[in-house]
Chain A
Amino acid sequence: MRRRKTLSDILAGWRMSEGAKEAIKDIIDRSRRNTMVAVGATIIIVMFSLALLAPVLPISDPEEYVDESFQPPSDNRWFGTDELGRDVFSRVIWGTRISLQVAVLAIFFSLLIGIMMGLMAGYFGGKTDYLIAGTIDLFWTFPPFLLALAFAATVAGGSLTAVIIAISISYWAGFARLMRGQALSVRERQFVEASRALGASNIRIMFTHVFPNCLAPLIVWASIGVADAITIESSLSFLGVGTQPPTPSWGYMLFRGLANLQEAPWMSTFPGVVLLITVLGFNLLGDGMRDVLDPRMKGMRR
């Protein structure tokens, strides 16, 4: 009988120090026991599967008029149909795809900007820090949603790319702040000093010593960031400046649902529930991971 591969077996094959393996094993063990991580991760896995599988699932075309308008949920139209006779179930699933695509890419780019800015500011200090930290603070002052609204309103057309860019340039300041703080504290540590004494360049020190030490909080905040980005995207689409019809988007579906609240409550209920569950999933994962990675931060948030 084939033995199931355990975590230690997998880790044994990796090229890294025993101490690092021990730490990784410890983190994975603790996250398995954390309910928030378990629930959050399950939700996220389901949502990503739906998003990836949308083109092959046996559901109707989300932009096609497949039935009569305002059909209530039934056996073959699980979530009913909307005002144009499109299948709400299919639109919710395709909406997952759009939502996750926008949110994940937007957070990826914000991370990229944030990490670069934060590392440079925290590591170099002095005038560089003064300039970058000032810029970070300027962006940090404003709620990302408000900035994204202002940016999204300027770009005519409201393509997906425009929404992604609008969210990215509104959200990076939080990551940069985090990164800068961590870099400031890490660079004073002895191993960084030792590495510098051995002649390592600034770039090398930043990426091999400073950056890995900031990974834990970044993972936490990236997860919460995706939740925020989903909320921002759906809010923008709800207000008509985000994803444009006929592309299925939860925010826009809720906007149409609001207009038809009396005749067809299912038009807003289903996208709303799925939207809430998805945002909740990423928040739970973030909160849970924080407890796992750094028990001292437990219960802190803002």
Chain B
Amino acid sequence: MADLLSYIVRKLLLAIPVILLATLIVFLILYLYGADPITAVAPPHASAEDLEALRDKYGFDEPFPIQYGKFLKRLVFDQDLGTSVARGTLNTDVSYLIEQKLPKTLQLMAIGLTISYSIGIPLGIYAALRQDTLKDRGVMVFTLVGYAMPSFWLGILLMMALAVYTNILPIGGTVGGLENIILPALTLGLGNAALTTRMMRSSMLEVKRQDYITQLRSRGLPEREVIFKHALRNALLPVITVIGLDIGWFVAGAVVVETVFSWPGIGMLVINSIANADFPTVQGCILVLALFVVLGNLVADILYAFVDPRVRLG
């Protein structure tokens, strides 16, 4: 157990430079932005002095390292992401805006992840047990198409099929309550299900070939028991450990899917903020999304070390 702990600490320390890079990229978003962001904040007909005062307030006129240093300091000590400069939400704390939207994105990701695994795992096993048959080929074609399908196009297709033509589900937004999350979550989940199926299939095929499986069969255990009691346990490990990496995929997917279905999460916030040139909010959102990815990777590493002791000793 001690080696597992030291492994986790090591991984946590390694995450720090990654997070720093994320803050730097995020900071550059505002710094490099060509147009003067002050024009987005200033009222029309503002005088030069007014502009100067505003620039001072937001700190847009200082040299790069100082701006970045101040940005980091505010971030670390006050969790302060600055204030929005968009007209509708002028001077609102970005951290407050994000707090409002975060639960929606988390909901979406959680249901999407559940859908992805409850389709991908059984389908992968199904295909692996029928390797090289027509059914297996069929599943593989599904995964190929599912992987190639851009998420926004899948979303539009599902919307056409289930909302526009059949009226089974609402088109988007959050007015109706629970049924509104089905379409976006399904879009997010189906895309990732293709990957999960592929992983599950190849992992099951790998395990099926191993000696201990042959040995169990030769002892006369029924095939069902061999597969579901003994093989599955080992075959699931690599699939489960990539949950963490899936989170990165889901974060990227959420931005697109939320926009398709007007789901009011972080993804829509970031896209709307880009459109409104509200760069402090863009910074904040991207930073939160990046933290998700880093966290996901950390979870993947830890899960992996947990199930495979060779990793933490290496």
Q: A-side interface residues toward B, CB under 8 Å? A: 134, 137-138, 141-143, 145-147, 149-151, 153-157, 227, 231, 234-235, 238-241, 251, 254, 257-258, 261-262, 265, 268, 272, 275-276, 279-280, 283-284, 287, 299-302
- State whether the Cβ of B129 lies closer than 8 Å to any Cβ in chain A: no
Decide: B150 and A279 in contact? CB cutoff 8 A. Answer: yes
Select from chain B the residue with minimum beta-carbon distance to A147.
B25
Decide: B152 and A235 in contact? CB cutoff 8 A. Answer: yes
A143 to B164, CA, bound (A): 32
A contact residues around B32 at 8 Å (CB):
154-155
9 contacting pairs across A/B (C-beta < 8 A): A137-B18, A143-B249, A146-B252, A154-B33, A156-B35, A254-B152, A272-B157, A287-B144, A302-B199
Select from chain B the residue with minimum beta-carbon distance to A36.
B144
A155 to B34, CA, bound (A): 7
Decide: B293 and A254 in contact? CB cutoff 8 A. Answer: no
A192 to B201, CA, bound (A): 39
Select from chain B the residue with minimum beta-carbon distance to A145.
B252
Select from chain A the residue with minimum beta-carbon distance to B165.
A265
**Given that A143-B249, A276-B148 are known contacts, is A258 also in contact with B202, CB under 8 Å in the complex?**
no
- Rounded to whole Å, the gap between the CB of A281 and the closest CB of chain B is 9
Contact of A239 among B153, B256, B286 (CB under 8 A): B256
Decide: B156 and A257 in contact? CB cutoff 8 A. Answer: yes
* Residues of chain B from 21 to 36 with CB closer than 8 A to chain A in the complex: 21-22, 25-26, 28-29, 32-35
Select from chain B the residue with minimum beta-carbon distance to A255.
B152
A257 to B156, CA, bound (A): 9
B contact residues around A147 at 8 Å (CB):
25
**Given that A156-B34, A254-B156 are known contacts, is A276 also in contact with B289, CB under 8 Å in the complex?**
no
A241 to B29, CA, bound (A): 13
A contact residues around B159 at 8 Å (CB):
258, 261
- Rounded to whole Å, the gap between the CB of A236 and the closest CB of chain B is 10
- State whether the Cβ of B160 lies closer than 8 Å to any Cβ in chain A: yes
**Given that A141-B18, A276-B150 are known contacts, is A154 also in contact with B144, CB under 8 Å in the complex?**
no
A280 to B150, CA, bound (A): 10
- Rounded to whole Å, the gap between the CB of B268 and the closest CB of chain A is 10
A153 to B274, CA, bound (A): 7
Known: A142-B248, A153-B29, A154-B32. 9 other contacts (CB 8 A): A137-B18, A141-B293, A142-B22, A156-B35, A251-B152, A258-B152, A275-B153, A280-B145, A299-B205
Q: B-side interface residues toward A, CB under 8 Å? A: 17-18, 21-22, 25-26, 28-29, 32-35, 144-145, 147-153, 156-157, 159-160, 164, 195, 198-199, 201-202, 205, 242, 248-249, 251-252, 255-256, 259-260, 270-271, 274-275, 282, 286, 289-290, 293-294, 297
Contact of B153 among A227, A261, A272, A301 (CB under 8 A): A272
Contact of A143 among B17, B144, B293 (CB under 8 A): B293
B contact residues around A240 at 8 Å (CB):
271, 274-275
Decide: A238 and B293 in contact? CB cutoff 8 A. Answer: no
| Most-contacted residue by chain B among A151, A154, A235 (CB, 10 A) | A154
**Chain A-chain B contacts (Cβ-Cβ < 8 Å), number:** 120
- Rounded to whole Å, the gap between the CB of B193 and the closest CB of chain A is 15
Decide: B294 and A239 in contact? CB cutoff 8 A. Answer: no
- Rounded to whole Å, the gap between the CB of A99 and the closest CB of chain B is 11
Decide: A138 and B17 in contact? CB cutoff 8 A. Answer: yes
Decide: B252 and A143 in contact? CB cutoff 8 A. Answer: yes
Decide: B293 and A231 in contact? CB cutoff 8 A. Answer: no
B contact residues around A235 at 8 Å (CB):
150-152, 256
Decide: A254 and B153 in contact? CB cutoff 8 A. Answer: yes
Contact of B271 among A145, A239, A299 (CB under 8 A): A239
Decide: B282 and A153 in contact? CB cutoff 8 A. Answer: yes
A258 to B171, CA, bound (A): 11
Decide: A280 and B144 in contact? CB cutoff 8 A. Answer: yes
Select from chain B the residue with minimum beta-carbon distance to A151.
B25
Contact of B149 among A138, A142, A268, A276 (CB under 8 A): A276
A69 to B274, CA, bound (A): 30
- Rounded to whole Å, the gap between the CB of A256 and the closest CB of chain B is 11
Contact of A142 among B201, B270, B293 (CB under 8 A): B293
Decide: A146 and B152 in contact? CB cutoff 8 A. Answer: no
A156 to B293, CA, bound (A): 26
Select from chain A the residue with minimum beta-carbon distance to B20.
A138
- Rounded to whole Å, the gap between the CB of B12 and the closest CB of chain A is 14
Contact of B148 among A134, A227, A262, A300 (CB under 8 A): A227
**Given that A239-B255, A299-B202 are known contacts, is A275 also in contact with B150, CB under 8 Å in the complex?**
yes
Decide: B289 and A146 in contact? CB cutoff 8 A. Answer: yes
- Rounded to whole Å, the gap between the CB of B6 and the closest CB of chain A is 20
A137 to B202, CA, bound (A): 26
Decide: B251 and A234 in contact? CB cutoff 8 A. Answer: no
A234 to B28, CA, bound (A): 24
Decide: B156 and A150 in contact? CB cutoff 8 A. Answer: no
Select from chain B the residue with minimum beta-carbon distance to A300.
B202
Decide: A276 and B145 in contact? CB cutoff 8 A. Answer: yes
